[in-house]
Amino acid sequence: MRRRLPTVTAWCFALLFTGIGIREHFARGGPGLARTIASNSSNSPKSAEETLLLFEEATRSVPRGATITVFKPHNRADDQQVLRFSHGQLPWHRVVPQSESPDFIITLGAPLNDSRYEPMASNGAGTIWRRVRW
């Protein structure tokens, strides 16, 4: 009996803590599916999630092979980082620097002040713009 006591005790406490963990999990809303991978993994999950959803919308609505650029109008210091991120998120498009004249533009955080482009889709992170005039 003395040899079994530590094993039985360990199993009882393991079951007890598993039960407590399950109860807490469901008390906080239970299992939930995240909208994107950034939903639970970044410092600002709402902003990161909206940005990824905007890129997903661009992948669906912008034709493959079209030229596209992405930038933050109010934070131009991030252009290189945003351009690198865009290459990964838009693999079927030609992502170009803003110095070229692309067919589509994604602005993050602010609107575009260019009469050659009209808004195509938008969310909390930014807007996708389509060129209508050359």
Question: For 73-93, what is each residue's pLDDT tens digit?
Answer: 888 888 888 899 999 999 999
Give the strand pairing for 104-108 and 117-122.
unpaired
- Round to whole Å and give the CA distance between 88 and 12: 49
Given a cut of 90, is residue 100 above it in pLDDT?
no
- Round to whole Å and give the CA distance between 92 and 60: 10
Query: What's residue 76's pLDDT?
Result: 80
Handedness of CA 89, 94, 100, 101 (dihedral sign): negative
Q: Which residues contact 127 (CB under 8 A, 6 or more apart)?
A: 106, 107, 111, 112, 119, 120, 121
**Residue 130 three-state SS:** strand
Among 61, 68, 133, 57, smallest CA distance to 104 is for 68
CATH 3.90.1530 applies to domain 42-131:
no
Q: Is the pTM of this model over 0.75?
A: no
Between residues 40 and 54, which one has the greater pLDDT? Answer: 54
